[in-house]
Amino acid sequence: MAKWLLCTLIALLLISLFGFYSWPRSIMPPEQQTNVDVQMGFYDLMSRRKETYDTHMVIVNKTILTTITSPDDPRFILKGKFTQTSTHQRRQWFSWSPI
What is the residue extent of each domain of the chain?
2-98
Q: pLDDT digits over 29-43, tens only?
A: 555 457 788 888 888
Gap between the Cα atoms of 92 and 86, Å rounded: 6
What residues pair up with 82 in beta bridges, in sequence order? 64, 96
Q: What is the pLDDT of residue 26?
A: 45
Res. 93: pLDDT tops 70: yes
State yes or no: pLDDT of 86 exceeds 50: yes
pLDDT digits (tens, 9 = 90+) for 2-26: 666 666 767 766 666 666 655 555 4
